């Protein structure tokens, strides 16, 4: 490992500078800016959007590493997650529409004002990559490139395995029923991260059963995905067989037919890890992050 790769401190106290953003519908979002004051102006800026139920603090090691390479980078807690309370409960609800039409645009507006003139890369993990891709299709001038970490199609038919298909149907049915009955979903009680909003879960379940992307009002979003013409890097791991198997990640890439797509399906050993999985790579994967850095430099080479 090079000296550059050890530049990010191991201390968990280095959590970035906290900024609170106000969305157009009055929700406060927490954003943490990890950028160094002398970040490299020739490098793009990166906004990191988390997986469903994951707090932004899970991405702090990744953010510190990229900041150490000169990137301007910030992580975003979307509404109801991490440092962006209130957390979902009965009566505290939101769905894909609030993320797509409020949270993402608010974070992008902050990024453009904070890092003027820099290309902005959306690094989205799982559902964070799905919504980032939809946003990029709807507002292409906002985004220079997409980095999609274990971003899948959640369609139950995306796996060729009958066992996995049955498991997906059971999971979506239970998530949907529980959310309707409780008015929210207790993700923290079933090893699914944080509490989840009722409408967000119902939107996700609808995606899973229908194989089509739509917002909370059921307006079609497949056309937005097909409109993406940006460079897009899709990354999956051979040991992430439960949440993001290769077939499901490939099925999402299929929905970006006009993107300039690079596809990596990596064994953990290829990036110096014993396990990569859906989340374990976030604990520290400098070899992976170096590969992403190289891809960004080659793809978005400037002046």
Q: Which pLDDT tens digits describe the chain residue by residue (303 residues)? A: 332 333 334 444 478 999 999 999 999 999 999 999 999 999 999 999 999 999 999 999 999 999 999 999 999 999 999 999 999 999 999 999 999 999 999 999 999 999 999 999 999 999 999 999 999 999 999 999 999 999 999 999 999 999 999 999 999 999 999 999 999 999 999 989 999 999 999 999 999 999 999 999 999 999 999 999 999 999 999 999 999 999 999 999 999 999 999 999 999 999 999 999 999 999 999 999 999 999 999 999 743
pLDDT on residue 267: 98
- Percent of the chain at pLDDT > 70 equals 95
Q: pLDDT tens across 184-194, in order?
A: 999 999 989 99
Q: Could you tell me how many residues make up the chain?
A: 303
Q: Which CATH architecture has domain 15-154+222-299?
A: 3-Layer(aba) Sandwich (3.40)
d(CA 145, CA 142): 10
Give the residue from 270, 231, 211, 171 showing the smallest Cα distance to 44. 231
- The domain limits of the chain are 15-154+222-299
Contact 225, 255 (CB under 8 A): yes
d(CA 277, CA 244): 9
């Amino acid at each position: 490992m090079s000296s550059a790769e050890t530049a990010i401190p191991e201390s968990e106290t280095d959590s970035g500078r906290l900024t609170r953003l106000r969305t157009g519908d009055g929700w406060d979002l927490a954003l943490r800016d990890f950028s160094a004051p002398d970040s490299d102006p020739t490098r793009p800026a990166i906004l990191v959007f988390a997986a469903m139920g994951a707090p932004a603090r899970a991405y702090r090691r990744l953010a510190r590493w990229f900041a150490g390479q000169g990137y301007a980078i910030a992580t975003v807690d979307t509404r109801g997650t991490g440092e962006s309370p209130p957390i979902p409960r009965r009566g505290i609800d939101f769905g894909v529409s609030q993320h797509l039409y409020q949270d993402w645009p608010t974070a992008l507006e902050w990024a453009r004002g904070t890092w003027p003139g820099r290309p902005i890369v959306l690094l989205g993990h799982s559902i964070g990559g799905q919504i980032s891709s939809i946003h990029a299709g709807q507002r292409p001038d906002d985004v220079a490139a997409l980095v999609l970490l274990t971003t899948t199609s959640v369609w139950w038919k995306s796996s060729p395995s009958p066992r996995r298909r049955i498991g997906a149907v059971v999971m979506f049915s239970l998530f949907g029923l529980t959310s309707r009955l409780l008015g929210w979903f207790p993700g923290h009680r079933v090893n699914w991260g944080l509490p989840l909003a009722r409408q967000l879960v119902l939107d996700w379940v609808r995606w899973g059963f229908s194989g089509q992307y739509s917002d909370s009002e059921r307006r079609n979003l497949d056309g937005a995905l097909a409109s993406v013409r940006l460079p897009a890097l899709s990354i999956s791991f051979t040991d992430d067989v439960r949440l993001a198997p290769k077939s499901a990640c490939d099925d999402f890439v299929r929905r970006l037919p006009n993107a300039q797509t690079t596809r990596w399906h990596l064994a953990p050993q290829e990036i110096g890890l014993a396990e990569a999985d859906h989340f374990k790579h976030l604990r520290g994967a400098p070899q992976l992050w170096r590969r992403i850095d190289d891809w960004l430099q080659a793809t978005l080479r400037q002046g």
